Structure formats: C-alpha cells, structure tokens
C-alpha cells in the first residue's frame, strides 16, 4: 500500500510530473482538483467564485480526506491544499509528501504559458505575477517545506527536463522507502 502526495505552488508541475511518476511507480494518478470537479460537477474556478475561498478550502479538505484513504495512489494536490485544516499533517501521516519547488520567476513563466484558468491569478500581468507569487510562497513555504522530500525544479520546460525530474523524484521516493 502506497500513497504519494505531490504538493507545490500552481504551475510547479504537479500534474505533469504526477502522471509520469504514477505510471513509472505503477500507481493510480489522482488530480485532486479533477476529483473535486467530478464530484461537484463544477470547475474549480466556478466553485471558487460561487462558494468563496473559505468554503472551497473546506470542500478541498474533505476531498483530500477521502482520497487519503485510497491505496496505491499518487495524488497531485492543489497549491493551497497543504496550507489549510491540518491537511499537510494528514498527508505526512498517511503517505509520502513531495514538494515540487520552483522560484517565483520560473513559476510566473510557467503560469503565463499555461492554458489553464487559475482563479487566484486571473488577469495579472507578469509584472504583477512575480511579486504576487513571491508573497504567496512566503505564506505557504512553512507548509511546503515540511514535506518528506523537497525537490527543486527550475528549468523544467522540455520533455527531457520533465523526465529528469520524474526520475529524480522517483529515486528519492524509493530511497525513502528503504529507510
């Protein structure tokens, strides 16, 4: 029985890396945001807009508690999930947590290239995005840094760089299981 939780800021590569890593480790991949969207039949953006951030975080925490009981899974969480309702403590207790770390500049570049709509950054220019990310990361860093594995991922754009990241995280996960 294995549970791996990928955490990190939006745009850090949790979903991209998660799908490949799950396949490599023969685990089922679950994107927590997709799980929530399927359960509520609404997009994350719509839930955020209709319910507000506080209620959305409660919905997210409940969904995390549900998937945290599944076995042989790799779960990609939303960027804020570790920071509310003792979610990080839950993930650390029931599985292996991996923080995919990137600089604010790298995250801004990835987010601007992304086609995904992200409620927290909608309408922000690159000049607004970097300070916003820097401030947000400062608030979240204590949660992220409490992960079992912290894996830096600057310059993860090409397929080759993504595969290097997946192999690096896989190696650290396997080494952690040995101890």
- Domain coordinates in residue numbering, the chain: 3-164
More confident residue, 92 or 125: 92
CB 30 within 8 A of CB 73: yes
CB 82 within 8 A of CB 100: no
pLDDT digits (tens, 9 = 90+) for 145-158: 999 999 999 777 78
- C-alpha span between 56 and 51 (Å, rounded): 6
CB 102 within 8 A of CB 154: yes
CATH number for 3-164 (one of 1.10.580.10, 3.90.1070.10, 3.40.50.300, 3.30.420.40): it is 3.40.50.300
Q: How far does CA 103 lie from the centroid of its chain?
A: 15
pLDDT band at 115 (very low <50, low <70, confident <90, very high): low
The helix/strand/coil state of 91 is helix
pLDDT band at 117 (very low <50, low <70, confident <90, very high): low
């Amino acid at each position: 029985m294995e549970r791996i939780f990928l955490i990190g800021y939006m745009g850090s590569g949790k979903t991209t890396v998660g799908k490949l890593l799950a396949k490599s480790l023969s685990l089922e991949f679950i994107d927590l945001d997709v799980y929530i969207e399927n359960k509520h039949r609404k997009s994350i953006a719509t839930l955020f807009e209709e319910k507000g951030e506080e209620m959305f975080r409660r919905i997210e925490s409940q969904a995390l508690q549900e998937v945290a009981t599944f076995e042989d899974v790799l779960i990609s969480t939303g960027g804020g999930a570790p920071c509310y309702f003792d979610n990080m403590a839950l993930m650390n207790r029931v599985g292996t947590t991996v923080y995919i770390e990137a600089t604010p500049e790298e995250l801004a570049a990835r987010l601007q290239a992304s086609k995904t709509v992200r409620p927290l950054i909608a309408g922000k220019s690159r000049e607004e995005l970097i300070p916003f990310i820097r401030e947000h990361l400062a608030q979240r860093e204590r949660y992220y840094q409490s992960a079992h594995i912290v894996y830096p991922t600057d310059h993860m754009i090409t397929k080759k760089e993504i595969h290097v990241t997946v192999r690096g995280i896989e190696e650290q996960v396997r080494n952690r299981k040995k101890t």
